[in-house]
Amino acid sequence: MRIAIITGASSGLGAEYIKQIDEKYRFSELWIIARRKDRLENIAQETRTKVRVLAMDLTDAAMREKLASILARIKPVVGLLINAAGMGKIGRYDEIGPQNELAMIRLNCEAAVAVTQLVLPYMRKGSRIMQICSTAAFQPLQGLSVYAASKAFLLRYSRGLGAELLGTGIRVTAVCPYWIKDTEFIPVAKETESSAVRHFPFASGKRSVAAVSLWASKVGFPVCTPGIFCTIHRIISIIPDTVLMLGWEGIRRI
């Protein structure tokens, strides 16, 4: 049985990946993972491919053990893993607070690595991993400091893991989009009172981000910047961080 696993699947980019995979790819099952069971079940009803709903909080080690047990029992071939689960908070460190900052690290870093490690033994030649990072990974961002740092970790992890997997036929793609306007990220990220980021100009749409990144993964790109602004950001990230942060200071006040 050849399956795809999508985390962060209940909404936004994760749900869009499910839709496009269902339309364009052939898998025996899609395993969709998120905390909100009702939303996952609604998505499953609209999906032609057989779906296994796994309502899990992947920051919980017990839930990850449950996923490990299911994998060990069924022993599928995982053709595609998309780690789309993630969260962000906008604001100063004292507005966000340690609880939210640590939650970002647990989900964006720890959970992504843990799920990848669980799934890798079930991958074969031709299997693919997509880690959903962010253009924030390319530089430090005041007002998004922990979020940007967590995505930088995930980008570096993806690049290193991809190198370790050379010769196995398993490919890793770090997906680094710009703001995505039609997901829950921006409303959730702005829940603090901070005006650290006032506007989100030229934001991408989830449909194009999913389509471009799926293609990039298929052809084997180690890093995908699915849009003009994140591509420019990647190119100019050769500039010293101090200069980039001064530029960001102006942009975020627009």
Instruction: Give residue-wise pLDDT tens across range 181-229.
Output: 766 555 554 455 555 555 556 677 899 999 999 999 999 999 999 999 9
In whole angstroms, what is the distance from residue 252 CA to residue 47 CA? 39
Q: How many CA atoms lie within 13 A of 79 on its CB side?
A: 13
Q: Say how many domains are in the chain.
A: 1
Residue ranges of alpha helices (H) inside 120-184 are 145-164
pLDDT score recorded for residue 189:
45
Helices first, then strands: H and E counts in the chain: 10, 7
Active site residue 66: no
pLDDT score recorded for residue 254:
66
pLDDT score recorded for residue 205:
86
**CA quadruple 191, 197, 200, 206: dihedral positive or negative?**
negative
Active site residue 147: yes
Q: Does this model's pTM top 0.85?
A: yes
Task: Report the C-alpha dihedral over residues 29, 43, 150, 58, rounded to 10 degrees.
Answer: -70
What is the CB neighbour count within 10 angstroms for residue 202? 11
In whole angstroms, what is the distance from residue 124 CA to residue 110 CA? 24
In whole angstroms, what is the distance from residue 35 CA to residue 9 CA? 9
Is the CB of residue 116 less than 8 Å from the CB of residue 158? no
Return mean pLDDT, the chain.
Answer: 92
In whole angstroms, what is the distance from residue 195 CA to residue 175 CA? 27
Tokens standing for 71?
């994998």
Which contiguous run of DSSP H or E holds residue 50? strand 50-55
| Weakly modelled stretches of the chain, pLDDT under 70 | 182-202, 253-254
Tokens standing for 37?
């069971």
Residue type, 48: R
Largest Cα span, the chain: 53
Q: Which of 89, 151, 190, 206 is catalytic?
A: 151
Q: Which of 147, 157, 178, 190 is catalytic?
A: 147
Backbone angles phi, psi at 39, to 5 degrees: -70, -40
Which residues form the domain of 69? 2-251
CATH number, residue 192: 3.40.50.720
Residue type, 214: L
